[in-house]
């Protein structure tokens, strides 16, 4: 197996792993969205409701950020450009231009 084949195999494997993580996070999206909308529509003037509204908003924001980040990183790894090749399997020091 050549160096390029090994890097391609590794980067595509990592891309699949990141895409699976993104799909797993997508499965949590309906529950988080439902919970956020529940607290958003609750008209009670309680401090607890306010806290939970903000908590669910933060959770939803980070969940969406993870989904987008994992998806983008998966696409970058799947393409396996020269930067990814150098990251995963750096060339020996004598081959690098100075």
Is pLDDT larger for residue 1 or for residue 63? 63
Residue 81 lies in a domain: yes
Instruction: Please state, for a pLDDT cut of 90, what percent of the chain lies above it.
Output: 53
Q: How many domains does the chain have?
A: 1
pLDDT at 97: 61
Q: How far is CA 8 from CA 23, 60, 67, in A?
A: 22, 34, 23
Residue 51 lies in a domain: yes
Model's pTM, two decimal places?
0.79
Question: Which residue, 1, 3, 13, 18, is CA-closest to 82?
Answer: 3
Residue 34 lies in a domain: yes
pLDDT band of 59, cuts 50, 70, 90: very high
Q: Which domain holds residue 10?
A: 3-89
DSSP conformational letter for 94: G
Residue 95 lies in a domain: no
What gap in Å lies between CA 11 and CA 73, rounded to an integer? 11
Residue 98 lies in a domain: no
Instruction: Please state, for a pLDDT cut of 70, what percent of the chain lies above it.
Output: 94
pLDDT tens digits for range 68-98 = 999 999 999 998 878 888 888 887 766 556 5
pLDDT tens digits for range 47-58 = 988 898 999 999
Residue 40 lies in a domain: yes
Residue 21 lies in a domain: yes
């Amino acid at each position: 197996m050549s160096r390029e084949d090994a890097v391609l195999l590794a980067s595509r494997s990592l891309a699949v792993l990141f895409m699976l993580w993104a799909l797993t996070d997508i499965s949590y999206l309906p529950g988080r969205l439902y919970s956020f909308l529940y607290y958003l529509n609750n008209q009670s003037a309680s401090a607890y409701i306010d806290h939970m509204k903000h908590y669910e908003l933060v959770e939803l924001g980070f969940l969406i950020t993870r989904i987008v980040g994992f998806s983008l990183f998966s696409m970058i790894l799947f393409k396996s450009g020269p930067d990814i090749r150098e990251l995963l399997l750096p060339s020996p020091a004598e081959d690098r231009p100075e």
